Amino acid sequence: MADLIEMTDIVKTFQAGAKQVDAVKNVSLTIKDGEIFGIIGFSGAGKSTLVRCINLLGRPTSGSVKIDGTDLTQLSPKDLRAERKKIGMIFQHFNLMPSRTVFGNVAFPLKDSGLSKEEIRQKVRRLLELVDLADKENAYPSELSGGQKQRVAIARALANDPKILLSDEATSALDPQTTGAILQLLKKLNRELGITVVVITHEMEVIKEICQRVAVMENGEVVELGDVFSVFANPQHPLTRSFIRTTSNLSKIDQMIADHVPGVTPEIGEVLVKLSYRQKDVSEPLIATAARKFDLDINIILADVEIVAGAPIGGTVVILHGESEQISRAISYMKEKNVGVEVISDARNRY
Ligand SMILES: Nc1ncnc2c1ncn2[C@@H]1O[C@H](COP(=O)(O)OP(=O)(O)O)[C@@H](O)[C@H]1O
Ligand SMILES: [Mg+2]
């Protein structure tokens, strides 16, 4: 995929009274044409500031922003206005105009497009169909649910046929089910219209659901960057690990052990281990094979395996029961198969 957005050495500093805020500190990031790229971080990390630099809604203090090879920071106001039409944006609180109907909101960006009234009508209807809101043309924003409002905002953002859609916490004000539907819509726009989507979020679920690559931000810096599968399978930065923990059931095991939940404490001779799948080709029925090969009973206590970026990821917590040496061999075998093996509790030498 070709590079579409190229941010180089972006610095953004705010002067808040006597205090200087370094919101973005020297970030370089390249986003490819056609991908869904996620930026995750806690509140205040600098995500919105960075993404507003992509359309120069906020001008970087220094650094360059190239879209399709054109450096936006060098353009005249008129040329910048034209370039900006290639970039749509949606927000957490939708930012609709309350006094205009759904139709009026979506038609608004088309007022200087040179299209005739009839062409605008057709285009708005097409957009409303695309977001599944054809029947709400004459409704006012106050008559819509949150998810419907965001659909209107998406249709409006698409009015000028952008190549890029920036989504700044677009699902953060929505319930989980509506969030899922909006994310599926973004995925559809990406797939069917080829729009490059930049998704800002503080929720790892969102990244897992639709992104192909992700940047993790903290204190104005990108602390981790990679394809979503590798980042989930092998997170490097403590912040990334803590974000991933929020999406996995496996982390519950520590609490369960602390709470002495029945069944999670190994009996004498048994070993409690956490297995994590870290590569895309773990398809072999590993647990069954290990049980047979080493004559063990393997009890699955917890399992959390999901499909991320098209491949299974996650793991299981199991109790291994059998001969001590065979248990050791089974553990080595699983490590050889590139499964992460963490012994949580070993009761083989306990009497
Ligand atoms: N217009 C502004 N004036 C002063 N400080 C700002 C402004 N916008 C953002 N900041 C500060 O920059 C930092 C990053 O903010 P922001 O980009 O909104 O983070 P995020 O979107 O990750 O929550 C924060 O400390 C925030 O207070
Ligand atoms: Mg923000």
Q: Which atom of ligand 1 has the smallest separation from the CA of 49?
A: 17
Ligand 1 center to residue 198 CA distance, Å?
18
Mean pLDDT of 204-208: 92
Q: Is residue 244 included in any domain, yes or no?
A: no
Q: Is residue 243 included in any domain, yes or no?
A: no
pLDDT tens per residue, range 124-148: 999 999 999 999 999 999 999 999 9
The answer on 152 and 263 residing in a single domain is no
Helical packing angle, 286-293 and 324-336, nearest 10°: 140
The answer on 158 and 46 residing in a single domain is yes
Give the residue whose CA is nearest to atom 6 of ligand 1.
Answer: 14
Name the residue range of residue 23's domain: 3-238
Give the residue whose CA is nearest to atom 10 of ligand 1.
Answer: 23
Boundary of a domain, candidates 216, 238, 260: 238
Non-local (6+) Cβ contacts of 337 within 8 A are 282, 284, 286
- Contact indicator for 201, 232 with CB cutoff of 8 Å: no
Q: How many domains does the chain have?
A: 2
The answer on 116 and 255 residing in a single domain is no
The tokens for 207 are 């990244």
DSSP-derived secondary structure letter, 73: G
CATH number at residue 28: 3.40.50.300
The answer on 280 and 187 residing in a single domain is no
User: pLDDT at position 282, please?
Assistant: 59
Whether 255 shows a pLDDT value over 80: the answer reads no
Boundary of a domain, candidates 195, 212, 238: 238
Write down the residue that tokens 């989930």 correspond to: 232
Mean pLDDT of 57-66: 96
Q: What is the best residue among 11, 13, 14, 50 to mutate for testing ligand 1's pocket, by most ligand atoms within 8 Å of CB?
A: 14
Ligand 1 pocket by Cβ (under 6 Å): 14, 16, 21, 23, 41, 43-49
Give the residue whose CA is nearest to atom 26 of ligand 1.
Answer: 44
pLDDT tens per residue, range 28-54: 999 999 999 999 999 999 999 999 999
pLDDT tens per residue, range 168-205: 999 999 999 999 999 999 999 999 999 999 999 999 99
The answer on 92 and 25 residing in a single domain is yes
- Contact indicator for 307, 267 with CB cutoff of 8 Å: no
Q: Is residue 309 included in any domain, yes or no?
A: yes
Q: What percent of the chain has pLDDT over 70?
A: 98
Q: Which atom of ligand 1 has the smallest separation from the CA of 47?
A: 22
The answer on 319 and 228 residing in a single domain is no
CATH number at residue 279: 3.30.70.260
- Contact indicator for 10, 26 with CB cutoff of 8 Å: yes
Q: Which atom of ligand 1 has the smallest separation from the CA of 43?
A: 23
Predicted TM-score (pTM) of the model is: 0.84
